[in-house]
A and B are shown apart, each in its own frame.
Chain A
Amino acid sequence: MNQRNLIFSWLIFALSLGSIVTASAENNPTADSLYAAIEATEDDTTKIDLLVALSEQFEEKDKAKAVEILNSALKLATAADSKIRQASIMRAIGNIYISQADLDKATQLLFSSIKISEDIKEWEGAASAYILLGRLHMEKGMDDNASKNALKYFIKSLHALEKAGNKKRIATVLNNIGTAYGSMNDYSTAIEYLLKSLKIREEIKDDAGIASTLSNIGLIYSHQNDYNKALIYQMKSLVIRERIGDKKMIANSMNNIGDVYAKQGEYDKAVEWLKKGLKHATEIGNKNFEKNSYEGLMEVYEAKNDFANALVYARKYEELKDMMLNAESDEQIQELETKYETEKKEKTIQNLTQEQLAKETEIVRRRTVNTSVLIGAAVIALVLLFTYRTYRQKQRANELLTKLDKEKNEFLGIAAHDLKNPLQTIIGYCQMQTSYFDKLSKEKILKQTNNIEITSSRMLDLVSNLLDINAIEDGLVKVDKEKTTLIPLLEKITEGIENQALHKSIKVQLNTTEKNMEVITDPLLLRQIIENLLSNAIKYSPESSQVLLSCTRVNGAIEVAIKDSGQGIPVNEQERLFKKFSTLSTRPTAGESSHGLGLSIVKKLSDLLNIQVSFESEQGKGSTFKLLLP
């Protein structure tokens, strides 16, 4: 039982204390005929077998009743000294207690059953009880300790079955042992047991078993990152399952193959197989495999950065999971109610036979109830907290996916708009020069060609900026820090931007207080940051003005500042200044392009270099951007 199921069963238990409904399996014709046969027979062993058969009629819907009938059968078997029947009935009751998570009672009964079976050398019975004990430990959780205990009992069951010589069951247990070793990450031992199981299953031609073991071997190889082998075993398993028409397990094989491709990074193939698995699972109505397909598809699309599809499958996965959880909860309510009923009936019997202890029992019971109420309240509080946190995590994941999807759409919108606009100019001018060649003067053609060049450069800038942002966000920008002398770097930057400044007759002035200022940084990335800020300063400054680039020491640290004489940034727009695609009401002064990406790149690169970026701006008086170098 996983953690979530465990939590829900606690919640349901708390709820069921207030409302007990008795489950019933009466009005069952088979049960009626069994009752009649029991009444009619005088032979004790026949009566025992009939009672066991009758208990099976109630096992699903009324476990309390089933236990009551089995207890009657056990009394008769004990009186008749039928050891095989005693052991078998104890296992049956133990099995019901396991399903009700009453593990202490189950353990006690199963050990008693094993002792009887071993005394009379009834090895298959002993093996069955050991397997149940193994299952019981698996129910306790999937931690290493639970797995080790489960394994211990699986191995004991294997020894018992070897004595009995039942090959089919030996192969099943070997398969279980292999899987248990796998869950403990002991892959070589896991493979060893699985291969043994496979060999036996091949000997006895148990096709369904062969397919199951092949698939389990594939899963182990997948855990070991040996995807080629994993794929071979999963494919072999699928071929057998298709041959024998095991529709349910075909869906499982397809999902497993999809998972292997996903781990290999072959996402398109992974999607193809997971969708096949989903189709099969849906056709046969297997919700569990359907859920696995959705989960796999969600993960693959996420790995492909296809967040829209990832979101679609994440939602389907969550919806199905919630639906299954609700259905499971309904079943658990039934189980808890019947468990409560069983305990109530047992208590009544106990009270009738132990009336003298009633008062003491009452005191103990009250104490237990008080303690239980306190513990229950604490557990419920913890459960509610955990449930809330789980819900929030899920909600946050959905919000993140929605945000990423929105960003992607924004990106496409910007790309569509800001790339199609310049294309219009380029295509339009080219068509114009072809159609009206005779009407255009040389000067006109030169001017148009110049416009085409400017427009193409802007497109290139936009594409470069988009690629830069993408690279930074994907963590692909490598930082190579080295000792850097600042002034020569700033001089080079100033020279490089001179052309842009000259177009608007703007003078870029470099002011420094000392010559040998050194920092440990990535000079290429620092250059990109300063160039972006200088380019912006020129764009937003009026013609024939001045842009100042200064480098000074401030409280021991080095500060690079870029001051323009533009219109300044409106206060209400300052908050979103460094956000992607944020265009401001202030526009470049000579029709230059602005896509709202430059400052976003500045901020992201500065973060990479641990540079603090700040700005001061006053409307009408310009802005100063400051970089405080570490």
Chain B
Amino acid sequence: MSQTKILVVDDEIILREYLTELLELEGFSTLSAGSAAEAIGLLKNNQAALVLSDLFLGQSSGMEILQHLKLTEANTPCYIMSADLTEEIRGKCIHAGAKGLIKKPFDNSAIISLIRNSLSH
């Protein structure tokens, strides 16, 4: 049985490394991208069960990934992570189709529970 694939998007290489390691330790397979364009490219050629993306990706943004998912009518749940989650940002992300928002820094156990819960529905 193939492993569930999760796409991790963050412009910080080390943060990306940490997240993919964590997910792999929990039995998931991972894809990783450093920008919205790279993530969209991976989504076109791979079947991801869930996307975990930072909001601020240097010159690009997690919102671009949400727009892509909406346009392609993909049902892939996408969670947006950020250290700076104002009410305005929350509203925009949810409106753009985010499944949920995750405020940094978060606990390993919390994010794993969230992902498992989301995938079980």
The answer to whether B17 and A451 have CB atoms under 8 Å apart is yes
The answer to whether A428 and B83 have CB atoms under 8 Å apart is no
Chain A residues whose C-beta falls within 8 Å of the C-beta of B19 in the assembled complex:
428
Closest to B112 in A: A435
Closest to A434 in B: B108
Chain A residues whose C-beta falls within 8 Å of the C-beta of B104 in the assembled complex:
420-421, 423-424
The answer to whether B21 and A424 have CB atoms under 8 Å apart is no
Bound-state CA distance A435–B83 (Å) is 24
Closest to A454 in B: B14
The answer to whether A432 and B58 have CB atoms under 8 Å apart is no
Chain A residues whose C-beta falls within 8 Å of the C-beta of B56 in the assembled complex:
417
Bound-state CA distance A583–B11 (Å) is 13
Bound-state CA distance A436–B23 (Å) is 12
Main secondary structure of the interface of B (DSSP, over half): mixed
Q: Which of B12, B25, B84 contacts A416 (CB 8 A)?
A: B84
The answer to whether B108 and A431 have CB atoms under 8 Å apart is yes
Chain B residues whose C-beta falls within 8 Å of the C-beta of A419 in the assembled complex:
83
0/1 interface trace, chain B 84-104, chain A, CB 8 Å (1 if under): 100000000000000000001
How many B residues are at the interface, by size bracket? 20 to 34
Chain B residues whose C-beta falls within 8 Å of the C-beta of A448 in the assembled complex:
18, 21
The answer to whether A421 and B15 have CB atoms under 8 Å apart is yes
0/1 interface trace, chain A 436-452, chain B, CB 8 Å (1 if under): 10010000100010010
0/1 interface trace, chain B 50-79, chain A, CB 8 Å (1 if under): 000000101100000000000000000000
Number of interface residues, chain A, beta carbon within 8 A = 27
- Given A417-B56, A417-B84; A425-B25 close (CB under 8 Å): no
Q: Which of B18, B59, B82, B84 contacts A428 (CB 8 A)?
A: B18
Q: Which of A416, A424, A432, A454 contacts B106 (CB 8 A)?
A: A424
- Given A417-B83, A431-B108; A424-B15 close (CB under 8 Å): yes
The answer to whether B12 and A591 have CB atoms under 8 Å apart is yes
- Report if A585 contacts B (CB, 8 A): yes
The answer to whether B58 and A583 have CB atoms under 8 Å apart is yes
Interface Cβ pair total, 8 Å cutoff: 68
Chain B residues whose C-beta falls within 8 Å of the C-beta of A585 in the assembled complex:
58-59
Closest to A414 in B: B84
Bound-state CA distance A439–B22 (Å) is 11
Chain A residues whose C-beta falls within 8 Å of the C-beta of B59 in the assembled complex:
583, 585, 587
Q: In the complex, what's the smallest C-beta–C-beta distance from B38 to chain A, in angstroms?
A: 13
Chain B residues whose C-beta falls within 8 Å of the C-beta of A413 in the assembled complex:
84
Q: Which of B3-31 contact A (CB under 8 A)?
A: 11-15, 17-19, 21-22, 25
- Given A416-B83, A421-B15, A436-B25; A428-B105 close (CB under 8 Å): yes
Q: In the complex, what's the smallest C-beta–C-beta distance from A266 to chain B, in angstroms?
A: 35
Chain A residues whose C-beta falls within 8 Å of the C-beta of B82 in the assembled complex:
417
- Report if A427 contacts B (CB, 8 A): yes
- Report if A455 contacts B (CB, 8 A): yes
The answer to whether A432 and B108 have CB atoms under 8 Å apart is yes
Q: Which of B58, B84, B105 contacts A424 (CB 8 A)?
A: B105
Q: Which of B13, B14, B21, B83 contacts A432 (CB 8 A)?
A: B21
- Given A432-B25, A439-B25, A583-B58; A420-B14 close (CB under 8 Å): no
- Report if A10 contacts B (CB, 8 A): no
Q: Which residue among A425, A431, A439, A455 has the maximum number of chain B CB atoms within 10 Å of its CB?
A: A425
Main secondary structure of the interface of A (DSSP, over half): helix
Q: In the complex, what's the smallest C-beta–C-beta distance from B16 to chain A, in angstroms?
A: 9
Chain A residues whose C-beta falls within 8 Å of the C-beta of B11 in the assembled complex:
587
- Report if A429 contacts B (CB, 8 A): yes
Closest to B108 in A: A431
Chain B residues whose C-beta falls within 8 Å of the C-beta of A425 in the assembled complex:
12, 14-15, 18
Bound-state CA distance A413–B17 (Å) is 25
Chain A residues whose C-beta falls within 8 Å of the C-beta of B109 in the assembled complex:
431, 435
- Given A416-B84, A436-B25; A587-B58 close (CB under 8 Å): yes
The answer to whether B14 and A427 have CB atoms under 8 Å apart is no
Chain B residues whose C-beta falls within 8 Å of the C-beta of A591 in the assembled complex:
12-14, 34
Q: In the complex, what's the smallest C-beta–C-beta distance from A580 to chain B, in angstroms?
A: 17
Q: Which of A43-97 contact B (CB under 8 A)?
A: none
- Given A431-B108, A432-B108; A420-B83 close (CB under 8 Å): yes
Chain B residues whose C-beta falls within 8 Å of the C-beta of A423 in the assembled complex:
104-105
Q: In the complex, what's the smallest C-beta–C-beta distance from B40 to chain A, in angstroms?
A: 18
Chain B residues whose C-beta falls within 8 Å of the C-beta of A424 in the assembled complex:
15, 18, 83, 104-106
Bound-state CA distance A444–B22 (Å) is 12
Closest to A591 in B: B13
Q: In the complex, what's the smallest C-beta–C-beta distance from A408 to chain B, in angstroms?
A: 15
Q: In the complex, what's the smallest C-beta–C-beta distance from B8 to chain A, in angstroms?
A: 12
Q: Which of A440-476 contact B (CB under 8 A)?
A: 444, 448, 451, 454-455
Bound-state CA distance A436–B25 (Å) is 8
Chain B residues whose C-beta falls within 8 Å of the C-beta of A427 in the assembled complex:
105, 107
Bound-state CA distance A416–B105 (Å) is 11
Chain A residues whose C-beta falls within 8 Å of the C-beta of B34 in the assembled complex:
591
Chain A residues whose C-beta falls within 8 Å of the C-beta of B108 in the assembled complex:
428, 431-432, 435
Bound-state CA distance A454–B19 (Å) is 16
Bound-state CA distance A432–B23 (Å) is 11
- Given A417-B56, A591-B12; A431-B107 close (CB under 8 Å): yes
Bound-state CA distance A593–B105 (Å) is 18
The answer to whether B12 and A451 have CB atoms under 8 Å apart is no
Q: In the complex, what's the smallest C-beta–C-beta distance from B31 to chain A, in angstroms?
A: 18
Q: In the complex, what's the smallest C-beta–C-beta distance from A573 to chain B, in angstroms?
A: 10
Closest to A447 in B: B17
Bound-state CA distance A454–B14 (Å) is 9
0/1 interface trace, chain A 578-591, chain B, CB 8 Å (1 if under): 00000101010001
Closest 7 A/B residue pairs (Cβ): A420-B83, A591-B13, A424-B105, A431-B108, A424-B104, A585-B59, A417-B83
Q: What are 9 A-B residue pairs whose CB atoms fall within 8 Å in the complex?
A: A421-B15, A421-B83, A424-B104, A425-B18, A428-B105, A436-B25, A587-B11, A591-B12, A591-B14
Chain A residues proximal to chain B, CB less than 8 Å: 413, 416-417, 419-421, 423-425, 427-429, 431-432, 435-436, 439, 444, 448, 451, 454-455, 583, 585, 587, 591, 593
Chain B residues proximal to chain A, CB less than 8 Å: 11-15, 17-19, 21-22, 25, 34, 56, 58-59, 82-84, 104-109
